[in-house]
C-alpha cells in the first residue's frame, strides 16, 4: 500500500502541501492541466527551489489575478461539476466541507450566508483540489500525519485581526482531537504557522500516527516565513507499507484477566471501580451474576488489562472493593486491525472505527460519543444519527 506521512516540521498551509507534493515529483504541468477542469480562472502557479534553514525545498505560490470571492456553495459546485476523477472530487469536497463547517461554527452563521474573506478566493480551491490531485498522481492510498505545529498562542497583531491559532484552525483541530506540538520559545515571534486550509487538509485526510513503512522519497514544501530558529516547511514522506504490515490484518498479543467474586458490594462501588479501571488503561471491565456460598447472590468483577497494567489494576480493585484476593491469568487474543476516520454527514463530522481484514475494510462503527454529541445538538434520536453515520461510512470507506 502506498503511504504518505505528513510531517509539519514548521507549520502547514495549502501552498506548503502543494509544494511538498511537487517536490515529490508531481509535475506543475499536470497540476495545471487537472486544475483547468474546474473551469475557474484568475490565478497563476509559480514554483521555484528555495531554502529554509539550509533545507532545500519547493516554494509553490498561487498568484491571484482575480480577487473575486466565492461562496462555499459556488466552490463546492465547481468541484462537483468538474471532470476531475471521482476520488479527487470526494477528497476535495470533504476538506472544503470541513473548512466551511469550522468557519460556520466560529462565526455563528449557516453556510448559505457565510461571508468568506481569504478562504473564499480561488487560492483556497487550488490548494485543496491541487493537494487531492497530487496525492492521486503519486498513488497515495493512505495518509498519516505527525502532530501539528501551530506556534505559540498569541493575541491579535492588529485591530480586528485574529489571534494565533486562528479560530477556524483551532476548531478543525478540536473537531478530530488532533495532537499539537507544545509551545516553544523559538515560535515566539513566528505568528501563524498552521493555516485553516492546512489544518483542514491534514485533519480531514490523515490519521495521526506513523505506521511502519519503507520510505523511498521525501518532499519538502516551503512556507512564506523564514525565521532563523526553524524551517517554515512541511515535509511529506512517501513509501510502501512493509510486506508484514500489508498482509497481516490480524495480530496476536497477550493480556491479563483479573477476577474476583463479590457478595457484599453495592452497584455504586462497582460503577466507580469500573471507571477507575478504565481510567488507568483497562481494555474491558464487566460483571457477571453468580450464586455464592450460603445462597448469597453475588457478582464476578472481571477486568482485561495490558500486562504492564496488571499490578496497578490489582491495586485499584483491592482498594476500591471489599475483596481480599484477585485471581489472575494470562490470556492470548487475536485482534483485527482497525483505523479511525472522520466522515462528513449532513449532521456534521463523525468519527468512525473501521475494522480491517485481509487488507479490506469490512465493517464500520460510529464513535458513540460523537453520535451522542450530535444527537444532543440536533435533537435527533441517537439511533437515527448512528444510522446516518454508518451509512455515510459504508458509502465512503467500505
pLDDT digit string, tens, across residues 49-83? 999 999 999 999 999 988 888 888 888 899 999 99
Whether 144 and 285 map to the same domain: the answer is no
68 and 184 in one domain?
yes
5, 146 contact by CB (below 8 A): yes
The answer to whether residue 26 sits within a structural domain is yes
Q: Quick check: 294 and 372 in contact, CB under 8 A?
A: no
Residue 253 and residue 333 in contact, taking contact as beta carbons nearer than 8 Å:
yes
Query: Total structural domains in the chain?
Result: 3
Asked if 363 and 355 count as a contact pair (C-beta separation under 8 A), the reply is yes
Secondary structure of 23-70 in HEC code, one letter for each residue:
HCCCCHHHHHHHHHHHCCCCEEEEEEEEEECCEEEEEEEEEECCCCCC
Please tell me whether residues 241 and 254 are part of one structural domain.
no
Of 232, 247, 262, the position where a domain reaches its end is 247
Q: Which helix (H) or strand (E) holds 364?
A: strand 360-366
Q: What angle do CA 262, 270, 306 make, to 5 degrees?
A: 90
Domain contains 260: yes
Higher pLDDT, 16 or 354: 16
Closest CA to 232 of 44, 47, 50: 50
- Angle in degrees, 0-180, between the axes of helices 122-137 and 72-80, rounded to the nearest 10: 30
Question: Considering the domain boundaries, does residue 165 fall inside one?
Answer: yes
240 and 258 housed in the same domain: no
Question: Of all helices (H) and strands (E), which one includes residue 382?
Answer: helix 382-397
User: Which CATH number goes with the domain that contains 351?
Assistant: 3.10.20.300
The answer to whether residue 240 sits within a structural domain is: yes
pLDDT of residue 333: 81
pTM comes to 0.62
CATH number, domain containing residue 263: 3.30.70.1380
Order the strands of the 327-345 sheet from edge to edge.
284-291, 297-306, 250-262, 327-345, 348-357, 360-366
pLDDT at 247: 40
Residue-number span of the structural domain to which 9 is assigned: 2-247
**In the beta sheet, which residues pair with residue 222?**
233
* Mean pLDDT across 218-230: 95
Residue where a domain stops, chosen among 247, 278, 301? 247
Q: Do 136 and 269 have their domain in common?
A: no
**Residue 17 and residue 65 share a domain:** yes
243 pLDDT band, cuts 50/70/90, is very low
Check if the beta carbon of residue 34 is closer than 8 Å to that of residue 133: yes
Percent residues over pLDDT 70 in the chain: 95
- Domain co-membership, 15 together with 42: yes
Decide if 142 is inside a domain: yes
Does 18 or 396 have the greater pLDDT score? 18
99 lies in the same domain as 122: yes
Nearest partner of 121 among 75, 162, 59, judged by Cα: 75
Asked whether residue 25 falls in the same domain as residue 153, the answer is yes
Q: Do residues 59 and 103 lie in contact, with contact meaning Cβ atoms separated by under 8 Å?
A: no
Q: Of 247, 265, 287, which residue is a domain's last?
A: 247
- Which of 311, 189, 308, 293 lies closest to 255, judged by CA? 308
Residue pair 326/314 in contact (Cβ under 8 Å)? The answer is: yes
Residue 250 confidence (pLDDT):
65
pLDDT digits (tens, 9 = 90+) for 168-187: 999 999 988 899 999 999 99
Q: Tens of pLDDT along 262-307? A: 999 999 999 999 999 999 889 999 999 999 988 889 999 999 998 8
Question: What are the counts of helices (DSSP H) followed by strands (DSSP E) for the chain?
Answer: 12, 12
Statement to judge: residues 210 and 272 lie in one domain: no
For residue 332, being part of any structural domain is answered with no
186 lies in the same domain as 278: no
Compute the average pLDDT of residues 309-314: 92
- pLDDT score recorded for residue 379: 92
Q: Which residue has the cell 462501588?
A: 269
Mean pLDDT of all residues belonging to the chain: 89
Residue 272 included in any domain: yes
- Alpha carbon distance 332, 258 (integer Å): 14
- Tell me whether residue 330 is in a domain: no
Q: What is the pLDDT of residue 55?
A: 94
Asked if 306 and 320 sit in the same domain, the reply is yes
Amino acid at each position: 500500500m502506498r503511504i504518505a506521512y505528513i510531517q509539519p516540521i514548521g507549520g502547514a498551509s495549502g501552498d506548503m502541501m502543494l509544494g511538498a507534493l511537487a517536490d515529490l515529483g508531481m509535475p506543475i504541468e499536470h497540476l495545471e492541466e487537472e486544475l483547468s477542469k474546474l473551469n475557474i480562472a484568475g490565478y497563476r502557479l509559480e514554483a521555484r527551489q528555495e531554502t529554509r534553514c539550509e533545507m532545500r525545498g519547493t516554494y509553490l505560490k498561487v498568484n491571484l489575478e482575480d480577487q473575486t470571492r466565492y461562496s462555499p456553495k459556488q466552490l463546492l459546485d465547481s468541484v462537483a461539476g468538474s471532470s476531475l476523477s471521482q476520488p479527487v472530487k470526494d477528497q476535495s469536497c470533504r476538506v472544503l466541507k470541513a473548512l466551511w463547517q469550522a468557519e460556520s461554527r466560529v462565526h455563528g452563521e449557516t453556510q448559505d450566508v457565510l461571508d468568506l474573506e481569504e478562504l473564499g478566493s480561488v487560492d483556497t480551491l487550488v490548494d485543496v483540489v491541487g493537494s487531492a490531485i497530487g496525492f492521486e498522481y503519486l498513488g497515495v492510498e493512505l495518509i498519516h500525519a505527525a502532530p501539528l505545529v501551530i506556534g505559540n498562542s498569541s493575541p491579535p497583531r492588529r485591530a480586528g485581526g485574529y489571534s494565533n491559532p486562528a479560530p477556524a484552525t483551532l476548531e478543525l483541530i478540536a473537531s478530530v482531537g488532533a495532537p499539537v506540538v507544545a509551545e516553544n520559545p523559538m515560535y515566539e515571534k513566528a505568528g501563524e504557522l498552521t493555516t485553516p486550509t492546512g489544518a483542514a487538509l491534514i485533519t480531514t485526510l490523515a490519521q495521526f500516527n506513523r505506521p511502519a513503512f519503507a520510505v523511498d522519497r521525501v518532499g519538502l514544501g516551503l512556507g512564506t516565513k523564514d525565521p532563523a530558529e526553524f524551517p517554515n516547511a512541511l515535509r511529506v514522506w512517501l513509501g510502501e507499507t512493509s510486506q508484514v504490515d500489508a498482509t497481516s490484518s490480524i495480530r496476536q498479543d497477550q493480556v491479563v484477566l483479573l477476577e474476583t467474586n463479590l457478595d457484599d458490594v453495592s452497584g455504586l462501588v462497582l460503577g466507580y471501580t469500573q471507571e477507575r479501571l478504565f481510567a488507568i488503561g483497562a481494555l474491558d471491565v464487566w460483571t457477571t451474576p453468580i450464586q455464592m456460598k450460603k445462597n448469597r447472590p453475588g457478582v464476578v468483577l472481571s477486568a482485561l488489562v495490558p500486562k504492564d497494567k496488571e499490578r496497578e489494576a490489582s491495586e485499584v480493585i483491592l482498594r476500591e472493593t471489599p475483596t481480599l484476593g484477585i485471581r489472575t491469568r494470562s490470556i492470548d487474543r487475536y485482534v483485527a486491525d482497525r483505523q479511525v476516520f472522520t466522515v462528513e454527514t449532513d449532521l456534521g463530522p463523525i468519527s468512525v472505527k473501521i475494522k480491517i481484514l485481509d487488507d479490506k475494510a469490512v465493517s464500520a462503527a460510529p464513535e458513540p460519543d460523537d453520535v451522542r454529541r450530535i444527537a444532543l445538538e440536533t435533537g435527533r434520536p441517537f439511533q437515527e444519527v448512528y444510522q446516518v453515520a454508518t451509512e455515510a461510512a459504508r458509502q465512503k470507506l467500505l
